[in-house]
Chain A
Amino acid sequence: MVKITYITFSGRAHVVDVTPGGTLMRGARDNNVPGIDADCGGACVCGTCHVYIPPDWQARLGKRTEIEEATIEFSSDVKENSRLACQITISEDMDGLVVHMPETQ
């Protein structure tokens, strides 16, 4: 289990334990963390699991995938550190990861 902190737009932190191997999106959806809609369930077709990655984690999580790059166009307020949570697979070394959510999905 690794600890992941999801911070909503209003600043509320949700700390959940996520099993490595799943995705950052599933970690939120399975634990009923509000603010990550993930309408398509990780098919990378809806862009509603948009999160911001803090600078110190960006390099470790890597760049957007090609399909993610296309889909993230659907999200609002996309920034340089935007990612789709369904495209990030949780690994053991992600313990302590903190992500921020946009105002709307």
Chain B
Amino acid sequence: MRITLFIPCLTDAFTPRAAVAIVKILEYLGHDVDVPATQTCCGQPMFNAGFHVEAKRLVTRMLDVFDGDATVVTPSGSCAALIRHHAPTLYAAGTPERQRVENLGGRLYEFVEFLVRVERMDLAAHDVRWDGDVTEHFPCHGRGIGLGDETMSLLRGIAGVRLHPLEHRDQCCGFGGTFAVKQPAISGGMLREKVSCIAATGADVVVCNDAGCAMNIAGGCHRAGTPVEVRSFAEILAEGLELLTREEPS
């Protein structure tokens, strides 16, 4: 299958390894991966902050960059949710742009969602092993695209993974884009609770698939002196398939 990747700004700059892992896994699965050089941002930060004129310009750019009928895969559930659910509201019903954005929303998948719903990947059919103690945080925007326990189930399918359930796994870590900067006291309170739940699991690695939440949780763990590494599921899987060299948790 021809797959176009959309790698949003935070992943591009802060967690590029997660995107590299996705490229390698998709190629391992036999797909033809393309990354349009003109892509920038879907406009989610502007949309969520109420700057809808600006957001609409960026979404309209996306429509040109990802024109056509190729399946689009992205590491970010929140960007997927934006395109699928919120971006259409920026255009009047019946306009060509509205149709194009709905079309894009219909063929754009968050990576784990792609593995489960499109690829229907059966880990048992692959030689995958990753030894370690892992817990998982559920990024809120998984809700927006109808995800639930998929990452946990996939992790359970990897030999060697010792999965420790995270209390309040689906409670927000306090990221929320500009929220983390505008309301630091509230956001920080939410983050401290998340970090203490993570610490209580005894895991060495917390899996988190959204770059924003991952930065927030990593920053919270680092500030608290909690020695837990944050990884995306794609990185764990790529390491387990020996497509990436494993980074030992420090």
Say if A and B assemble together: no
Which B residues form the contact surface with A (CB < 8 A)? Answer: none
